[in-house]
Amino acid sequence: AKLMLFTLIIIPISAVGIAAVTKRLKKEAQDVQSSMGRMLTLMDETLMGMRIIRSFNATPFILKRFSQENDFYRRASLEGFKRRELAPAFSEASGVFIVSCILVYGGSLVLNREGDLQASSFIAFIAIFSQVIRPAKAIVTALANIQQGRAAGERILELLDKPVDILDKPDAIAMKTFSRDIVFENISFQYGDKPVLQNINFRVAKGKKVALVGPSGVGKSTIADLIPRFYEATSGSVKIDGIDVRDYKMESLREQMSFVTQEIILFNDTIFNNIALGKPDASLEDVIEAAKVANAHAFIMDTEDGYHTTIGDRGVRLSGGQRQRLSIARAVFKKPSILILDEATSALDVESEKSVQEALNNLMEGRTTLVIAHRLSTIKEADEILIMEGGRIIERGNHIDLLNTKGSIYKRLNSMHDVLH
């Protein structure tokens, strides 16, 4: 009984030390994961912004940032490695310490004159305890690995558990077809306390093209983002075929739309898979047809493996015009009823813009289109042009009407080639 009591006292003392080591290990693992994330982000930004970095002679600054982050990652990794290796070693040492204490104390009980403990009982106790201590040490090693895994898992779970701001209503309906129009009714929107849109009203009839024109920051892209419910209006409503977009299931709503934006998002995959994004059962014939509409088929066939050519991270193996035509082909392949073009040609040179604009004209033919652009070539054929300023629509009309309106802001913008050409 005395030996058992002694054992029950000494084991928790060792357990406290082991717990302190494994608890600290989780903190070290979190530091390693955070540092790795920052370093990978910096590497991605550096590779994508190489031209800007060089043009601003910022290479030494970037190298210094990377060196600092790399040094922190090295130190955090080394500290984590030491603690990870320390846990089993500490466990082993604790086991030896406990057994030694039991041998000393138990031996004293066997050898004293009072005969508190029989030698046979002592040997049996040691034999049983030695069998128990092995899995206990294995548990300590497993706990160390668990703490490291928890640190990585918690970063992932933070993203997965982040609440979704925009959800389908319980009674939301599926949008099966688009047949009539898109209507903005008294739309206002703000980011936090900052007003972005104020009392926006306009209609896009089926098959018509409406263009939004204005300086950066007046809310043009926000208007476009309200249609697929990337954002929710602060007040007012966006209606498609007379039904508020909030009453549609988002998946069915977005299935009716395609987007072509200034920021070209392509994936490190084949040309085929980039065009047929999200459609694993797509046929090569349909992909080729979409590429031809986008004026992309010719350059695709000039690549090494045609439609099975891998284009690299974000399409790095293609030119800017080729990447944009590929994104247009992706939009064509979806066969959308509604098309949203957000500065789709603003980042292209004149030669690339010509081929891309022709592809966009093919894409827009017969489709309901909302165009956000600065360049006259993109908007002059629009059925209605909306001039925006300060989050409001201040002028509207077609190209000819606005040019013939005395004092028209559009007329002034039209004469400024650096804005609209």
> Which CATH number does the domain housing residue 401 bear?
3.40.50.300
Are 376 and 342 contained in the same domain? yes
Check: CB of residue 303 under 8 Å from CB of residue 271. yes
Query: What are the residues whose beta carbons fall under 8 Å from the beta carbon of 353, sequence distance 6 or more?
Result: 321, 345, 375, 377
Can you give the pLDDT at residue 392? 94
In a domain? residue 271? yes
Can you give the pLDDT at residue 104? 78
In a domain? residue 168? no
In a domain? residue 173? no
Are 193 and 117 contained in the same domain? no
Are 80 and 199 contained in the same domain? no
Are 332 and 409 contained in the same domain? yes
In a domain? residue 235? yes
Q: What is d(CA 87, CA 145) in angstroms, rounded to the nearest whole number?
A: 10
* Whether the model pTM is above 0.75: no
Are 148 and 191 contained in the same domain? no
Q: What CATH code is carried by the domain that includes residue 88?
A: 1.20.1560.10
Angle between helices 284-293 and 320-333 (to 10 degrees): 120
Provide the residue-wise pLDDT of the chain in tens; the chain has 421 residues.
566 776 667 666 666 666 666 666 667 777 777 778 778 877 776 776 665 566 556 778 778 888 888 888 888 878 777 766 666 666 667 777 777 777 777 777 777 766 667 777 777 777 776 676 666 666 656 665 665 556 556 655 665 565 557 888 999 999 999 999 999 999 999 988 889 999 999 999 999 999 998 888 899 999 999 999 988 999 999 999 999 999 999 889 988 988 888 777 788 789 998 898 878 788 999 999 999 988 889 999 999 999 999 988 778 888 888 888 898 888 888 888 999 988 776 655 566 667 777 777 777 888 899 999 766 667 888 999 999 999 999 999 998 998 888 888 888 877 764 444 4
Are 228 and 287 contained in the same domain? yes
Are 115 and 186 contained in the same domain? no
Are 385 and 271 contained in the same domain? yes
In a domain? residue 349? yes
Alpha-carbon radius of gyration of the chain: 33
Are 103 and 186 contained in the same domain? no
In a domain? residue 128? yes
Structure tokens at 55: 């043009």
In a domain? residue 250? yes
Are 155 and 255 contained in the same domain? no
β-pairing, 257-261 vs 243-244, is unpaired
Tell me which of 94, 125, 160 is where a domain ends: 160
Q: What is d(CA 24, CA 36) in angstroms, rounded to the nearest whole number?
A: 19
Can you give the pLDDT at residue 418? 45
Are 141 and 249 contained in the same domain? no
Can you give the pLDDT at residue 420? 43
Q: What is d(CA 301, CA 287) in angstroms, rounded to the nearest whole number?
A: 13
Q: What is d(CA 114, CA 99) in angstroms, rounded to the nearest whole number?
A: 23
Question: Tokens 């925006």 identify what position?
Answer: 388
DSSP, residue by residue, 164-226: PSS---TT-B------SEEEEEEEEEEETTEEEEEEEEEEEETT-EEEEE--TTSSHHHHHHH
Can you give the pLDDT at residue 421? 47
In a domain? residue 170? no
Tell me which of 160, 191, 216 is where a domain ends: 160
Q: Could you tell me the residue range of the domain that residue 104 belongs to?
A: 2-160
Total domains, the chain: 2
Chain centroid, CA 129 distance in Å: 53
Can you give the pLDDT at residue 52? 59
Instruction: Phi first, then psi: give them for residue 199, nearest 5 degrees.
Output: 55, 55
Are 316 and 351 contained in the same domain? yes
